[in-house]
């Protein structure tokens, strides 16, 4: 029998295939405002670059969220209660969840869901050795699609979803509502969602966060083209595109683009995609909320805001959402 210390986790693999990747890339590049889905940033190199972004002084999100989690984790786990099944959407390096796992009372299982298979396997094996009593059930999937969740061996008292890092910021408003509705359905009437939500703030702070001085965010953005070249037989010339990120105050979001530096034609297999000089590919939006705006989005998806924790500067929030009609809503 395997010793508990070096137990290996079994991966539930529903990662989207190449065909879907190709179809989404082609349909995005055929639009009049060209676009690419930001979920494809996270191949192995993209995930490493994102980890580096998270260590930058200018990118305030991780350190602010960590400080909120460390300060208030006691209140959070009290709300979650014992024997919860914890589902993390977009688990990345699985570091943030450790603060919760260190304090939760007898969690019956942890389901990390991520699109990056290599990273998921690496980090969940480490996690399983750190928490030998915990059943770890990783799922490699695009968490915005429909797929079946693995069932833990032990029954749970409550299903709690965890969605840190303000990844909800990367959804446009309607997909954001649909995603939260889906999570509300997965958690059920007694369940809850613990979610990191980035807040509106000084524009200079926002600008620096997406235009860092070391160019890591630019490399992260351009890596998407490198990935497409490698995986889809495409011929983007990386130095003919430039990272461009700005805050759009009317829409309340950072927009990241890749701007073509010249007239050029890119080929994906035999499909020719023309670019005019100055034309951009929109690669990501990152919405910034005030507390009322987010409460409205949550309500539209069937959630009620149970508790909000913020840092002193009110740059970031962690919010505990409960089912608006469920048992915990009062």
3-class SS of residue 211: coil
**Residue number, 35 or 284, with CB nearest to ligand AVI:** 284
Q: How far is the CB of 286 from ligand AVI (least distance, A)?
A: 3
User: Does residue number 170 form part of the binding site for ligand AVI (CB under 6 A)?
Assistant: yes
**Residue number, 210 or 275, with CB nearest to ligand AVI:** 210
Helices within 131-195 (DSSP H only):
173-187
Residues between 59 and 98 with contacts to ligand AVI, criterion CB under 6 A: 61
User: Does residue number 210 form part of the binding site for ligand AVI (CB under 6 A)?
Assistant: yes
Question: Burial code of 135-173, b = ≥16 C-beta within 10 A, e = fewer?
Answer: bbbbbbbbbbeeeeeeebeeebebbbbbbbbbbbbbbee
Which of 169, 260, 319, 323 lies at the binding interface for ligand AVI (CB under 6 A)? 169
- What number of other Cβ atoms are within 10 A of residue 6's Cβ? 10
| Binding segment (CB under 6 A) for ligand AVI, from list 29-37, 132-140, 165-173, 178-186 | 165-173
Which of 99, 260, 286, 319 lies at the binding interface for ligand AVI (CB under 6 A)? 286
Which of 165, 244, 169, 230 has its CA nearest to residue 200?
169
Which of 47, 91, 166, 260 lies at the binding interface for ligand AVI (CB under 6 A)? 166
**Residue number, 158 or 289, with CB nearest to ligand AVI:** 289
Binding characters for ligand AVI, 43-62, by CB under 6 A (x = yes): ----------x-------x-
Q: How far is the CB of 196 from ligand AVI (least distance, A)?
A: 8
Sheet with 241-248, side-by-side order of all strands: 34-35, 280-287, 253-260, 241-248
Which of 217, 223, 317, 319 lies at the binding interface for ligand AVI (CB under 6 A)? 217
Which of 137, 280, 284, 326 lies at the binding interface for ligand AVI (CB under 6 A)? 284
User: Does residue number 319 form part of the binding site for ligand AVI (CB under 6 A)?
Assistant: no
Binding characters for ligand AVI, 241-280, by CB under 6 A (x = yes): ----------------------------------------
Distances (CA, A) of 28 to 58, 161, 298: 30, 30, 28
The region that residue 97 occupies, defined by phi over 0 for left and psi between -120 and 50 for alpha, beta otherwise, is: alpha
Residues between 104 and 163 with contacts to ligand AVI, criterion CB under 6 A: none
**Residue number, 53 or 100, with CB nearest to ligand AVI:** 53
- What's the CA gap between 264 and 31, in Å, rounded? 17
Which of 152, 180, 162 has its CA nearest to residue 104?
162
**303 close to 322: Cβ distance less than 8 angstroms:** yes
User: Does residue number 167 form part of the binding site for ligand AVI (CB under 6 A)?
Assistant: yes
Q: How far is the CB of 100 from ligand AVI (least distance, A)?
A: 18
> What tokens does 186 get?
């997965």
User: Does residue number 326 form part of the binding site for ligand AVI (CB under 6 A)?
Assistant: no
3-class SS of residue 257: strand
**144 close to 121: Cβ distance less than 8 angstroms:** no
Which of 165, 195, 198, 190 has its CA nearest to residue 179?
195
Binding site for ligand AVI (CB under 6 A): 53, 61, 165-167, 169-170, 210, 217, 284, 286
């Amino acid at each position: 029998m395997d010793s508990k210390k070096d137990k290996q986790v079994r991966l539930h693999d529903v990662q989207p295939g190449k065909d879907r990747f190709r179809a989404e890339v082609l349909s995005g590049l055929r639009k009049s405002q060209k676009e690419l889905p930001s979920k494809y940033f996270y191949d192995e190199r993209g995930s490493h670059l994102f980890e580096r972004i998270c260590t930058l002084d200018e990118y305030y999100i991780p350190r602010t969220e960590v400080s909120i989690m460390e300060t208030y984790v006691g209140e959070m786990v009290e709300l979650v209660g014992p024997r919860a099944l914890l589902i993390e959407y977009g688990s990345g390096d699985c570091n943030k969840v450790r603060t919760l796992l260190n304090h939760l009372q007898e969690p019956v299982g942890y389901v990390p869901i991520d699109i990056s298979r290599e990273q998921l396997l690496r980090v969940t094996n480490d996690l399983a050795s750190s928490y030998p009593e915990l059943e770890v059930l990783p799922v490699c999937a695009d968490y915005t699609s429909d797929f079946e969740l693995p069932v833990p061996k032990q029954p749970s008292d409550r299903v709690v979803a965890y969605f840190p890092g303000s990844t909800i910021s990367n959804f446009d408003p309607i997909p954001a509502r649909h995603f939260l509705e889906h999570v509300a359905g997965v958690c059920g009437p007694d369940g809850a969602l613990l979610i990191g939500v980035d807040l509106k703030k000084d524009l200079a702070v926002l600008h620096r966060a997406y235009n860092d001085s070391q160019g890591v965010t630019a490399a992260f953005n351009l890596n998407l083209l490198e990935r497409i070249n490698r995986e889809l037989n495409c011929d983007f010339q990386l130095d003919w595109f430039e990272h461009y990120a700005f805050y759009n105050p009317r829409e309340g979001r950072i927009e990241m683009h890749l701007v073509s530096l010249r007239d050029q034609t890119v080929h994906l297999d035999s499909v020719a995609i023309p670019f005019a000089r100055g034309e951009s590919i929109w690669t990501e939006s990152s919405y910034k909320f005030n507390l009322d705006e987010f409460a409205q989005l949550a309500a539209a998806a069937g959630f009620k805001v149970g508790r909000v924790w913020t840092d002193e500067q009110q740059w970031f929030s962690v919010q505990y959402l409960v089912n608006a009609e469920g048992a915990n809503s009062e």
